Amino acid sequence: MSAVKCTISISLVILFFLTNSLFAADIAKIGVIDLQKILETSNSGKSIQAELKKQKEQMESDLKQRGAEIEKISKRLERESMVMSKEMRDEKEREQRIKINDFKSLQKKYRSDLQKLEVEMMNQLQQDIKELVDGIGKKEGYLLIINKYSVLYSPGSIDITEDLIKKLNAKTAKRK
């Protein structure tokens, strides 16, 4: 009987230490980043936004100029159509249609070019962020780092966005 009591008490002691060590394990460290905030406040994000805005303004300016040319041709055609011969009027209308089609094609091209530029620049930013997040995760022992907008709730204490922005700014400063 005493051997059974001894075995039970040893089992209880072992069970106590095992469960105690399980509860004493490190809590999983989880971080959250705000990609929108990084885009809005980091030097890289601001640079991307400025470049896209500059390109968009240049394209809009060119389209505006071409639109004014088309408008001028249209008004001239309207004004002079009564005194033009049918052949001359047909030629001017054809010229106007060509200009309008060129305008629409250029507008499509500019839209496509702007989207490609945005994708290229955002891919580079995302690559930089991923490298930095990997480094932060490994160095500081995070189990998981996720995007803030993929999560329904997270306490502010696990948000590492500011630290990431500082490191991203330093990285882009070195690159330049």
Q: Tell me the two tokens of residue 57.
A: 């303004």
Q: What is the pLDDT of residues 79-89, one digit of tens each?
A: 887 787 888 88
Which CATH architecture fits 2-175? 2-Layer Sandwich (3.30)
Q: CA-CA distance, 68 to 141, in Å (whole number)?
A: 60
Domain boundaries, the chain: 2-175
User: Residue 144 to residues 8, 24, 79, 127, 164: CA-CA distances in angstroms?
Assistant: 41, 20, 70, 18, 15
- 146 — phi, psi (to 5°)? -130, 160
Q: Which residue has the higher pLDDT, 33 or 152?
A: 33
Q: What is the mean pLDDT of residues 123-127?
A: 93
- At 105 the pLDDT is 95
Higher pLDDT, 23 or 134: 134
Q: State how far the alpha carbon of 172 is from the alpha carbons of 25, 37, 122, in Å.
A: 38, 17, 14
Contact 125, 44 (CB under 8 A): yes
Q: Per DSSP, what are the bridge partners of residue 144?
A: 30
**What is the pTM for the complete model shown?**
0.69
Cα dihedral value 130, 136, 138, 142, nearest 10: -100
Q: What is the pLDDT of residues 89-105, one digit of tens each?
A: 888 889 889 999 999 99
